[in-house]
Every structure is written in C-alpha cells, then in structure tokens.
C-alpha cells in the first residue's frame, strides 16, 4: 500500500464544508468532539502525485487564462479503456465544472419546462433539486427493497420504469450508477434494459457515474456506454464522471461528460456558453491527468480499505442493534441504514445521534420524502475514527431503546 489511510488530515478550521458547516447544518452545539458522517467527501489525504501535479500548474507564477490541454481528453479516454474496457473517442469528451452542473445542462438542453424527468429514489437529493429548480417535473420510479437477515438490497422496478417512460411528458432519465445512497452496482443486463426502455420511448438517458471507481468486495461495474453499445444505441445518451469521489478532489470542480452524438455535445456546450461559464478550471488538466495517470493506483487501495471499513461497521451495528436494517454496499463509501424497527421513535434518530452521540450523518428524508428514520452514513475515515463513531452510535441508540422499554 502506498497510501496510509489510517492517518486523517485535520480539516477543522480549513473552511471544510464537512467539518466547519456541520454544527450549523444540523443545529448542533459546536465542539471539537463532533464526528461528521455526512456529505460525500473523505477524511483521507489525496495521492501525493496528484497534489504535486496540481502544484505544478502554479509554478510559472502566473494565474492568467489557460487552455484546457488535449491531455485532459486523452487521460479520460485512457482511463475508460484501461479501467472499464470502454473505447471513447477523445473528442466525445466535454469538460464540466461539476457532475450536477452537467446534469442540469443536459436537462436544459434536452427538455422543456413542464417536461418530466425520471429518477429512482431514494437518491442523491440534487437530482430532485435541479429538476424542480428548472421547472421540470420529477417522475419517481422508487427502487424496490428486499431484506434478508437485516441486510437491505434494492432492484429497479422495470414495470414502473416502462410505465413512466411511456408517459408523453417523460423526456429524460437521470440514472445514478453506482447508486448513491443505496450502493447498488447495476448489472450489465439491468443497464441494457434501461437503455432499451429509454430509447424505445425517446427518453434522453443521463448516467451519473461519479462513484464508479470505488467498488467494494469485487462487484463488476459497467459504464452505461458499454450497455448502450450492446444494444446499438449511440445517441440520446450521455455518461458523466469525475475523479472527485474516488480521488477526493470534490473541491476542485473538475468533471466531464462523454457524449457520443456531436449535435448533443454542442447542445450541452451551448448551455455553458450562453452564460459564458467556463466548463473547465485552472487545474482541470492536472487533476485528471494525475488521477488517471500516476495516481491511478489510489482507487484500488482506497476500495480495499473501504471494504474493511464497511464490513466492520455493518457487522458491528447489526450485532449491537436488534431491528436495524442496512445495506452492505457494492460501491461508494455510503451506507444506508433504516432504524424504524429498532424499538425507539425512529423519527428522532437524527437528533439523538447529533445531540447525544455527536455524530452527524445525512437524514434519510433528504433522499426520499418517506424515509424519515433512515440515515445515509459516510464511512470514509480512518478505522479508529469509525470505531469511535460506531461505539457512540450504539451506546446512544441502545439507551434510547432501553428508555422506551421502561416507559
């Protein structure tokens, strides 16, 4: 292992969203004892090769306008080939200032106000947020839940998806692949079926693959463009990615989309162009070339560490909290836990954890309105911090259950 993920950089007082906003975000008394487990951002250092590459962008001592290098496109095409077996022409890649801005641009380019956008909740909240902010209508195809021995798994409701896609107002689908917050890695067959349903109904398919490089315990990730190729689809589809989750570079706003169809690429570019918003940043080339080049070892080392973290955390909570139901994610560092059968008022779980355990995950209702009493928990932290978090969560929730039993 090149990286030592047991060491956490101290991020308090560094204008960190995760650490410095947590108390205000969740109405907690400020204090150094808070353990943030919200927002998809990791408490691990970046690869030294990546930091060095970013520093090199500044060495001439000039901060003037910069071109995006062709090395940006080549690095992404190379990574897609090497890591995911996907061949993409370099000129089909567009830079983005973020994956969500890319999704917004696609919604703007390919739908009209009042049109329907299909999403699959519980899902990353900005999918709903940007759709509504742009005057489009959210069409929900809720994922089907299964449980075996306290472990939750999810599958796509294909009948529901077919019915929604057939609606005349359905114009676009935003797929989260792998899925945040439920940690599913969709199979090639599932992805092919989604491609077919969208194509048959003329629904534009946008696949957010920001989490595709963190795969836990050996699942097999398939890019949407691979599945699309399986069924001969080359238009009305785009794939979005970024090194931001798997290399911990979210603050750099470096992302990209791969759009096979040239006219659709122009339509997305025009959305940024119409507002004179640059889609690349000063360090886009360095972040991407280093991540997908000399720092390319990082996601596999990270995934191995995170698999251990996840197994530890899931097993510890399951053993200690009867009635808890949770995922064992195939991807991401985000766990989904349902506390509604634990014997205490689950609607209080967020307050109990924030105020008593001093641990701050994301509330479930952010991801689907009917999931109050569920939480998304970020385990991307050194193991000793995760042990401390697990102990605090268990102590607090056991006490809440005991209190309930004595009432």
Q: Which positions touch ligand PLP (CB under 6 A)?
A: 40, 98-100, 124, 176, 180, 208, 210, 242, 244, 250, 255
**The tokens 């090639």 sit on which residue?**
188
Tell me the closest approach of the beta carbon of residue 214 to ligand PLP, in angstroms: 11
Residue number, 302 or 342, with CB nearest to ligand PLP: 302
Tell me the closest approach of the beta carbon of residue 302 to ligand PLP, in angstroms: 15
Residue number, 326 or 380, with CB nearest to ligand PLP: 380
Residue environment code for 214-252, b if the CB has 16+ CB neighbours within 10 A, otherwise e: bbbeeeebbbbbbbbbeeebeebbbbbbbbbbbbbbbeb
Those residues whose C-beta lies under 8 Å from the C-beta of residue 209, and which sit 6 or more positions away, are 177, 178, 223, 224, 239, 240, 241
Q: Residue 256 in 3-state DSSP?
A: strand
Tell me the closest approach of the beta carbon of residue 23 to ligand PLP, in angstroms: 21
Tell me the closest approach of the beta carbon of residue 229 to ligand PLP, in angstroms: 23
CA–CA separation, 111 vs 263, rounded Å? 15
Q: Facing residues of 95 across strands?
A: 256
CB atoms < 10 A from the CB of 45, how many? 15
Tell me the closest approach of the beta carbon of residue 346 to ligand PLP, in angstroms: 24
Residue number, 335 or 397, with CB nearest to ligand PLP: 335
Residue number, 177 or 307, with CB nearest to ligand PLP: 177
Residue number, 105 or 357, with CB nearest to ligand PLP: 105
Transcribe 288-313 into DSSP letters.
HHHHTTTTTTHHHHHHHHHHHHHHHH
User: In 3-state terms, the chain is what percent helix, strand and coil (to 5)?
Assistant: 40, 15, 40
**Going edge to edge, which strands form the sheet with 204-208?**
93-96, 255-258, 237-241, 204-208, 170-176, 116-119, 137-140
Residue environment code for 74-90, b if the CB has 16+ CB neighbours within 10 A, otherwise e: bbbbbbbeebbebebee
Tell me the closest approach of the beta carbon of residue 257 to ligand PLP, in angstroms: 11
Nearest-CB residue for ligand PLP: 98
Q: Residue 240 in 3-state DSSP?
A: strand
Tell me the closest approach of the beta carbon of residue 407 to ligand PLP, in angstroms: 39
Residue number, 208 or 338, with CB nearest to ligand PLP: 208
> CA angle, 269 as apex, 265 and 270 as ends, to 5°?
115
Tell me the closest approach of the beta carbon of residue 156 to ligand PLP, in angstroms: 16
Residue number, 130 or 397, with CB nearest to ligand PLP: 130
Residue number, 99 or 182, with CB nearest to ligand PLP: 99
């Amino acid at each position: 292992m090149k990286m030592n993920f047991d060491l956490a950089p101290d991020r308090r007082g560094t204008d960190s969203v995760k650490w410095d906003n947590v108390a205000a975000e969740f109405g907690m008394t400020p204090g150094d004892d808070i353990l943030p487990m919200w927002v998809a951002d990791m408490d691990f250092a970046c690869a030294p090769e990546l930091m060095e590459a970013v520093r090199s962008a500044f060495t001439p001592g000039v901060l003037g306008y910069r071109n995006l290098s062709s090395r940006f496109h080549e690095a992404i095409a190379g990574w897609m080939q090497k890591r995911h077996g996907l061949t993409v022409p370099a000129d089909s890649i567009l830079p983005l200032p973020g994956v969500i801005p890319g999704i917004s641009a696609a919604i703007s380019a390919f739908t009209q106000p009042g049109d329907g956008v299909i999403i699959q909740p519980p899902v990353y909240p900005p999918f709903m947020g940007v759709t509504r902010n742009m005057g489009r209508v959210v069409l929900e195809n809720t994922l089907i839940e299964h449980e075996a021995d306290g472990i939750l798994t999810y599958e796509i409701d294909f009948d529901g998806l077919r019915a929604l896609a057939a609606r005349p107002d359905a114009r676009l689908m935003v797929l989260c692949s792998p899925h945040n917050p439920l940690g599913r890695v969709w199979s090639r067959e599932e992805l092919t079926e989604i491609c077919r349903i969208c194509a048959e109904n003329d629904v534009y398919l946008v696949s957010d693959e920001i989490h595709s490089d963190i795969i836990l315990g050996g699942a097999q990730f398939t890019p949407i463009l691979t599945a699309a190729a399986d069924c001969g689809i080359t238009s009305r589809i785009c794939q979005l990615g970024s090194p931001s989750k798997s290399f911990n570079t979210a603050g750099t706003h470096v992302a990209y989309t791969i759009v096979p169809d040239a006219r659709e690429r122009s339509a997305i570019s025009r959305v940024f162009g119409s507002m004179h918003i640059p889609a690349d940043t000063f360090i886009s080339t360095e972040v991407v070339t280093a991540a997908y080049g000399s720092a390319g070892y990082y996601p596999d080392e990270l995934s191995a560490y995170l698999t251990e973290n996840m197994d530890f955390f899931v097993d510890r909570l399951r053993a200690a909290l009867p009635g808890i139901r949770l995922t064992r994610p195939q991807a991401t560092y985000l766990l989904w836990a349902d506390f509604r059968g634990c014997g205490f008022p689950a609607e209080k779980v967020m307050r109990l954890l924030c105020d008593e355990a001093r641990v701050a995950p994301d509330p479930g209702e952010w991801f689907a309105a009917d999931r109050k009493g569920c939480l998304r928990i970020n385990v991307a932290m050194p193991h000793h911090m995760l042990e401390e978090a697990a102990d605090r969560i268990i102590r607090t929730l056991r006490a809440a259950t005991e209190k309930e039993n004595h009432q």
